[in-house]
Structure 1
Amino acid sequence: MSQFLSRVAAAALALPLAFPAFAETVNQTLPPRVAQALKANKIENSALSVVMLPLNGNGSPTFVNADVSVNPASTMKLVTTYAALELLGPNHQWKTEFYADGPIENGTLNGNLYLKGGGDPKLNMEKLWLLLRDLRANGVDTVTGDLVLDRSHFVQPTLPVFDDDGNDKNKPFLVGPDALLVNLKALRFIARNDGGNVKVLVEPPIATVQIDNRIQALPKAKCPGWPDIRYNPIENGNGVTVVVTGKLPAGCSGQTYLSVLDHQRYAAGAVRAIWKELGGTILGEDRVAPVVKDAKMIARAYSPDLVEIIRDINKYSNNTMARQLFLSLGAEFRNEADADDSMAAQRVIRQWLAKKGLISPHLVIENGSGLSRAERVSARELASLLQAAWKSPYAAEFISSMPLAAVDGTMRKRLRNTGVAGKAHVKTGTLNTVRAIAGYSRDNDGNTWAVVAILNHPRPWGASSVLDQVLVSLYNRPANENTAQR
């Protein structure tokens, strides 16, 4: 992959940069309060890249460290979601299907039951339950054969495993993509002390997940905001035993989300758990294989439209869904020259950008989510993408997918009691050494700007307040600022 990216970057460098042209008046210094915030947090100015482009009205653009290659963290999701809107269409849907390779007689499927994944980023437990209800409505109670999982829709790339601090292995935000992604592969563990009797439950109740409850019950006391409970998953053959330790006062509870099963075991376990609750039986084993040629489709479910999917991705910075969408782009446009769907997605996105005149030599896309140490872009390139999106027929869908400052998503607690509250749709990005924002914000005259601010620094403590000050400074820009009409 690195050789492929190097060839693409070299080719792109030979092309003219298609950045927007502005009037001669251009700001090349940081707003004073942003510079003060950097100094207060002991961060040098060179660590921050800022671009602010006026999209309507009067205004002088700002370019500071605009052409430096930086890690954008989750603001990379804007590239993936905007590309998907234009290449797949806002009403694009994914499908998940059940097939049978034998006859159905008197409620019994005499053969194997196939579950074929189509890459749905939002196949949650409710949707799976409805799909299984549909299977029952089509006359199936008992399956004499195996539960066969078809996960062949994606040609998966081999990418490095991301782990920012070494302790994230079972965290849901690290779940990778899969053609048969069920419920984001998340397990919810609930610990509750009811009068000295401590119980630990798991949802969904997958049979291969066992609980070893070692929590110490304490007398009734004030319930802690973060109970002292630890979960240690241990492989046990075909399943996992989760050892739960800690202390919990009477009348208190706590919960956490973990990912402790691989995609195959989670999908099969979720199907069997729901099927059992519905009164159904599967007599055979679980295995992975493509749907056989003569199998008959007996139930199908569709995902929400793409516009809803990108809202979840951008509002809540969902890495798994972003990676799922990235591979879906690859699967849709894959050709014989593509080694995998990641390669196909990279190629298609670069071709799409080139057609728009957005040649981006700094752009490096690994998985499309920003959860990567390899992904790169410059602030100018990302701002140019935002400017192009502003003119897109799907601008409203794209902009509304981003968090609204002080209102929702990852921006819901930021910029409260400021003029920016409710006036900026901004995607955030966070890694150990990265803090970033990118999106659209209004100034105090009601004009809209494309804004990108990306900080790469070994110690980015306090950097979120620096980025917030970029938006506040834009909103409060002086009325007598030397502006130029675009």
Structure 2
Amino acid sequence: MRKLFRCFIVGALSAPLAFSTLAAPVHQSLPAAVEQSLKRNKIESSALSLVMLPLTGNATPTIVNADVSVNPASTMKLVTTYAALELLGPNHQWRTEFYADGPLKDGVLGGNLYLKGGGDPKLNMERLWLLLRDLRANGVRQVTGDLVLDRNYFIQPDLPQFDDDGGDSNKPYLVGPDSLLVNLKALRFVVRNDAGKVDIAVEPPIATVKIDNRVQSQPAAKCPGWPEVVYNPVKSADGREVTVVVSGKLHVGCSSQTYLSVLDHEHYAAGAVRAIWNELGGSIRGHDRLGSVPKDARLLARALSPDLVEIIRDINKYSNNTMARQLFLSLGAAFRNEADGDDAKAAQRVIRQWLAKNRMISTHLVMENGSGLSRAERISARELGTMLQNAWRSPYAAEFISSMPIAARDGTMRKRLLNTGVAGQAHIKTGTLNTVRAIAGYSRDKHGDVWAVVAILNHPRPWGASAVLDQVLIDLYSQAR
């Protein structure tokens, strides 16, 4: 892929800012192979918005239905991540900190222990463990007071809950943002049948998560791809405890695992801290509660997140909705003013101002949470294509482009376009909702020229639409000079 990035650097100097002003000819009809693919899948051509824009070479752009307001699904993450690169900088980091309000003597902290969240999108269990290790290294072994969670970094918006799959709010991809987001609030359940004994483990081992094991052991057989194991969380009245009833059948020698989000942010974060702290030999005598770090509190330990360039790679490669929403609110928190009301409104304002400053038209742009996991978010293919063209000329073009999945290689594109000329030649962000299929990014043609491509399909029944979008990339790769 080095050749691709060399093309990016050379071409950036000569690329026009906005393709809407190009005087060159433009194809205004869909490629024949794409049109045929739509017909095979019984999808009207009007459902597809398409922009194919050459960034190097002298090929002719294709612009079809490009000024229609469409739902972009997760390709909206490109707007959020590119804006963050430009506005926060590629080396931006988030902080998570422990504070104390009392004296520390002989390993005993006489007072409360405060955990202050700073909006870190990637505070996983490994990094939380390291932070708690630092707390131990700084002399803390026992805490006589409470564990106080400071979750005040974000001014949270009141947004509707989204779910395409029938109201199952326990799915990890639906986890919302939080000032103190720990491990994406995910619990991993692993079920194993060892010689007829079914065991269930949960990670992290949060004490308030109980397991009711009702899985029936079955004789040894070929392990199915989808074991018949069902998880049914039952929450206590106060929401502090959850009993996960695990039922179904599992053959000897087989295993099953799944990820669920069954606790709220407060109880998950507190439970994870206590689980690791107990493993490290520490104790916290008091209760868990919310609060603010006092002004005179003493800093005990601090963890810095990975740089923003690593964060946007996780967001775009794997289409991580929670991290994208976390980044969106971080933009709001960094630039908010009193008139904004909350950090989502602040992020919307600052992104619009940034787009206008860089002469990127955004008439159709509607951002709700910045992840594309929304029925309200909108953009046009032309607007997204203009942004991709602008990003091509950015000093951070390489960082932005490398954050996207590589066709037939990794991320959400790893199984697409295998055994085609496009394999390894395109960095493409995907988007999927029940009524949306979308791709956006950069691709090379067979001559080595680089293109910006946006293809967004909105349709009530988009079955087979992924094949249509793959055909767009195949047709682009086969461009004649």
| TM-score strictly above 0.5 | yes
1:4 corresponds in structure 2 to none
1:339 CA displacement: 0.3
Cα deviation digits, residues 86-139 of structure 1 (max 9, x gap):
000000000100000000001000000000000000000000000000000000
For 2:338 and 2:378, how far apart are their aligned partners in 1?
Answer: 27
1:242 corresponds in structure 2 to 244
1:330 corresponds in structure 2 to 332
SS at match of 1:20: helix
2:5 corresponds in structure 1 to none
Cα deviation digits, residues 56-89 of structure 1 (max 9, x gap):
1111111100000000000000000000000000
1:304 corresponds in structure 2 to 306
1:22 corresponds in structure 2 to 22
1:166 CA displacement: 1.1
**Match of residue 251, structure 1, among 250, 253, 278:** 253
1:292 CA displacement: 1.0
Q: Does the aligned pair in 2 maintain the 1:18–1:359 contact within 8 Å?
A: no
1:357 aligns with 2:354: no
**Aligned pairs, number:** 463
Describe the shift of the 1:461–1:472 C-alpha distance in structure 2 as closer, same or farther (beyond 3 A).
same
1:27 CA displacement: 0.2
2:38 counterpart letter in structure 1: L
1:308 counterpart letter in structure 2: E
Q: Does the aligned pair in 1 maintain the 2:18–2:389 contact within 8 Å?
A: no
Report the TM-score when normalising by structure 2: 0.95
1:265 aligns with 2:267: yes
For 1:394 and 1:351, how far apart are their aligned partners in 2?
Answer: 19
RMSD: 1.0
Which moves more between the two structures, 166-175 or 273-282? 166-175
1:305 CA displacement: 0.2
2:323 counterpart letter in structure 1: M
For 1:354 and 1:168, how far apart are their aligned partners in 2?
Answer: 39
2:404 corresponds in structure 1 to 402
Identity of aligned residues (%): 77
2:349 counterpart letter in structure 1: R
Q: Does the aligned pair in 2 maintain the 1:19–1:358 contact within 8 Å?
A: no
Matches within 5 A, 1:281-430: 281-430=283-432
For 1:111 and 1:394, how far apart are their aligned partners in 2?
Answer: 46
1:194 corresponds in structure 2 to 194
2:243 counterpart letter in structure 1: T
1:118 aligns with 2:142: no
2:436 corresponds in structure 1 to 434
**Match of residue 470, structure 1, among 447, 461, 472:** 472
1:18 CA displacement: 6.2
1:11 corresponds in structure 2 to none
1:438 CA displacement: 0.2
SS at match of 2:258: strand
1:12 corresponds in structure 2 to none
For 1:62 and 1:184, how far apart are their aligned partners in 2?
Answer: 40
1:208 corresponds in structure 2 to 208
SS at match of 1:337: coil
Q: Does the aligned pair in 1 maintain the 2:235–2:243 contact within 8 Å?
A: yes
1:167 CA displacement: 4.2
Cα deviation digits, residues 315-370 of structure 1 (max 9, x gap):
00000000000000000001111100000000000000000011211000000000
SS at match of 1:168: coil
Matches within 5 A, 1:71-82: 71-82=71-82
1:234 counterpart letter in structure 2: V
For 2:172 and 2:296, how far apart are their aligned partners in 1?
Answer: 37
1:164 aligns with 2:164: yes
Cα deviation digits, residues 208-244 of structure 1 (max 9, x gap):
0000000111111111111000000001242100000
1:14 corresponds in structure 2 to none
1:222 corresponds in structure 2 to 222
For 1:192 and 1:167, how far apart are their aligned partners in 2?
Answer: 28
1:294 CA displacement: 1.0
For 1:382 and 1:252, how far apart are their aligned partners in 2?
Answer: 46
For 1:250 and 1:187, how far apart are their aligned partners in 2?
Answer: 24
Q: Does the aligned pair in 2 maintain the 1:19–1:381 contact within 8 Å?
A: no
For 1:189 and 1:344, how far apart are their aligned partners in 2?
Answer: 37
SS at match of 2:136: helix
Cα deviation digits, residues 237-256 of structure 1 (max 9, x gap):
42100000100011111000
1:58 corresponds in structure 2 to 58
1:184 CA displacement: 0.2
Cα deviation digits, residues 263-313 of structure 1 (max 9, x gap):
000000000000000000000000001101111010000000000000000
1:27 counterpart letter in structure 2: H
SS at match of 1:221: coil
For 2:349 and 2:427, how far apart are their aligned partners in 1?
Answer: 29
2:28 counterpart letter in structure 1: Q
SS at match of 2:303: strand
1:442 counterpart letter in structure 2: R
2:446 corresponds in structure 1 to 444
1:103 corresponds in structure 2 to 103
1:19 CA displacement: 5.2
SS at match of 1:60: coil
For 1:57 and 1:225, how far apart are their aligned partners in 2?
Answer: 47
1:23 CA displacement: 2.6
For 2:253 and 2:405, how far apart are their aligned partners in 1?
Answer: 36
Q: Does the aligned pair in 1 maintain the 2:157–2:342 contact within 8 Å?
A: yes
For structure 2, the 5+ residue unaligned runs are 1-16
1:21 CA displacement: 1.6
For 2:20 and 2:142, how far apart are their aligned partners in 1?
Answer: 63
For 1:253 and 1:333, how far apart are their aligned partners in 2?
Answer: 48
1:188 counterpart letter in structure 2: R
2:109 counterpart letter in structure 1: L
Q: Does the aligned pair in 2 maintain the 1:75–1:438 contact within 8 Å?
A: yes
For 2:21 and 2:417, how far apart are their aligned partners in 1?
Answer: 31
For 2:479 and 2:18, how far apart are their aligned partners in 1?
Answer: 28
